[in-house]
Structure 1
Amino acid sequence: MYYQDSDGIYVPQKPVTHRNDEFVEDQFAHLFEMQSKHFWYLGRHRFLLESLKRHQASENFSAIDLGGGCGGWVQYLTQTIPNRLTDLALADSSRVALLNAKGVLDEDVDLYHVDLMDLQMQEQWNTAYLLDVIEHCPDDVTVMREAAKALKPGGKLFVATPALDFFWSYNDEFVKHVRRYDKRKYQELAKNSGLILKDARYFMFFLSPLYWLSRKTRPKELNEEQMAKLYKEEYKTPHPIINNVLKAVFYAETPLGHHLSFPWGTSILGVFEKPNSKLNLY
């Protein structure tokens, strides 16, 4: 279904159009700058890696990061568990993101230009990731079903999203979130996509009071230029001292948050499994 173009990116026969109304493509350059050093990304990576070690029993496995942007998670995998990965790929609807990622990822990481609503992949991967992706998608069930199709029987899908409507703020609207999730919504996603929810747990628990306070006051109405400026302010890496303190607090959730279940958190991680029997939803 895919062929490699002159940039070394695997593209489908049908051209892919990035949906700017779901994630503004101009924001990828800013994301690229912060993905390897911001405390939130580093803390999430650490929490997710612990989950991967617990739920992916295979010594060696293939993996694809769907909607993986500029490749922060893929780069982290190559740095932490390179010997376990047989095939590794980054997939996104934005060529801007993929070309940014190409400059930092190992040459053996495959890059796919994809439409998450029509992946055109069948039983190809042992593991897939949707990390802070489906909250941007009006039709999250179709995205989950497409990811399920791409998995081999028994494969695992790791999904991370913003959690709990209580934490909804102007920022969710600002970055084009459609919804936040909880454990009940993850159960519904599993049922509607033909997957089995093996685990669901909240994270960024320790920092949630600070998060809530920082988002409590809604900014006044802003024009497009002011909103772009606010975005850069909100999503910049803090001063190194502050960043290191926040990183240490977030790091304390791993492995603690996998031994006990936090009652809440600003994010939620779900581990979904594809049954070995054929799914009827396809």
Structure 2
Amino acid sequence: MRRCLHCNSTFEGGTPHCPACGDDPARIDGFVAFAPNFARDGGGFKANYYDDLARLEGENFWFRARNALILWALHKYQPGFRSMLEIGCGTAYVLSGVAQAFPDARLVGSEIFVAGLGFAAKRLPSAEFVQMDARAIPYREEFDVVGAFDVIEHIEEDERVLAQAHAALKPGGCIVLTVPQHPWLWSASDEYACHVRRYCAAELHRKVRQAGFELLRSTSFVTALMPALVVSRLRTRKTALETFDPLAEFAIPRSINALLERILSWERASIRAGLSFPVGGSRLVVAKKSDVSVALSL
């Protein structure tokens, strides 16, 4: 179901055009724009960072390990899903991995900046991409899975985003989240990335439950690399934002990059076996919407 962001009516069909009020969302750079006022300057992220991500994320151990963990979670908790919305899809690195693992699923990627959508559509032409503000999602009971991978920490109104994601899911659907963890790890890296917060587990669990979800799994990851992460964050904690180099963490020799990825693969094997880690640089949460449809006013 689509939800008209102008009159709040819901309607069937693949068109964004609202039959009730006639509202027809704009198109910007070829993409349907549900929040056109934010398409060029939406806040919460630096639009010029997409180019660096598109070049570097595919070979970086952290992005590769996170992708593998996300795909495991999808296979484990929603193995037969047929549709997925990714909030803040960036350059579609995650979504392209999902497409390979679930070739029959309908995939929709959203970004607040249209700049990112150009990279995403080039990487994954088979998916649908829309410009959207995650605080006002134009779907109701449309998807089996909603994913937000290192996204909601950029948004002040994260509770509203979670409630909107809940409404966009079909009954029985799942949300899959990854977020940066531990406020005490806050550093110039978070400031450059336009983070609003780093989460503690209790805060994230509370917000997920308040949005109407039942927690299925929650675990830290990048646990095995915590000593190195702590040293890195303490080193940059007092670094001036003007002198911070966001690409320094990508400048890793190939041999070290491969070793770090292997270490995280061993960690992932422990998670697959049922172990949940209490500490780690990031946290994975999988939560389920009730099988009973409930009308929400958002």
TM-score, length of structure 2 as denominator length? 0.84
Secondary structure, counterpart of 2:235 in structure 1: coil
Matched-pair contact (CA < 8 Å) for 1:47–1:253: no
- Aligned residue in 1 for 2:256: 242
Match of 1:66 among 87, 90, 103: 87
How do residues 15-94 of structure 1 correspond to structure 2 at under 5 angstroms?
Answer: 15-18=36-39, 20-58=42-80, 60-83=81-104, 85=105, 87-94=106-113
Of 19-28 and 269-278, the range deviating more from structure 2: 19-28
Matched-pair contact (CA < 8 Å) for 2:91–2:116: yes
Query: Within 2, Cα distance between the matches of 1:187 and 1:281?
Result: 22
- Aligned residue in 2 for 1:110: 128
Query: Within 1, Cα distance between the matches of 2:61 and 2:210?
Result: 34
| Deviation of 1:208 (Å) | 1.2
Specify whether residues 218 and 145 from structure 1 end up closer, same or farther in structure 2 by C-alpha distance, changes over 3 A only.
Answer: same
| Deviation of 1:75 (Å) | 0.8
| Deviation of 1:237 (Å) | 4.9
Match of 1:210 among 200, 212, 228: 228
The superposition leaves residues 96-142 of structure 1 with CA deviations (integer Å, 9 ceiling, x where unpaired) of: 1000111111x320011101111111111000101000111111001
Q: Does 1:262 align with 2:283?
A: no
Letter in 2 for 1:263: P
The superposition leaves residues 231-275 of structure 1 with CA deviations (integer Å, 9 ceiling, x where unpaired) of: 2223x2522212111111111122212321112111001112111
- Aligned residue in 2 for 1:11: 33
Secondary structure, counterpart of 1:265 in structure 2: coil
Letter in 2 for 1:53: H
Give ranges in structure 1 of 5+ residues lacking alignment.
none
Indicate the RMSD between aligned Cα atoms, in angstroms.
2.1
| Deviation of 1:223 (Å) | 6.3
TM-score, length of structure 1 as denominator length? 0.89
| Deviation of 1:221 (Å) | 5.4
| Deviation of 1:10 (Å) | 2.7
Higher relative contact order (CA 8 A, sep 6+): 1
Query: Within 2, Cα distance between the matches of 1:11 and 1:262?
Result: 40
Secondary structure, counterpart of 1:24 in structure 2: coil
Query: Within 2, Cα distance between the matches of 1:65 and 1:199?
Result: 19
The superposition leaves residues 141-163 of structure 1 with CA deviations (integer Å, 9 ceiling, x where unpaired) of: 01111111111111100010001
Matched-pair contact (CA < 8 Å) for 2:222–2:280: yes
Secondary structure, counterpart of 1:157 in structure 2: strand
- Aligned residue in 1 for 2:180: 162
Secondary structure, counterpart of 1:255 in structure 2: helix
Match of 1:180 among 189, 198, 210: 198
Matched pairs, number: 273
| Deviation of 1:181 (Å) | 1.6
| Deviation of 1:21 (Å) | 3.6
Matched-pair contact (CA < 8 Å) for 1:16–1:114: no
Query: Within 1, Cα distance between the matches of 2:149 and 2:227?
Result: 23
- Aligned residue in 1 for 2:289: 274
Following TM superposition, the consecutive aligned residue runs of length 4 or more in structure 1 with deviations greater than 3 angstroms are 3-8, 18-21, 218-224, 279-282
| Deviation of 1:220 (Å) | 5.5
Query: Within 1, Cα distance between the matches of 2:26 and 2:84?
Result: 19
Letter in 1 for 2:50: F
Letter in 2 for 1:201: T
Matched-pair contact (CA < 8 Å) for 1:116–1:143: yes
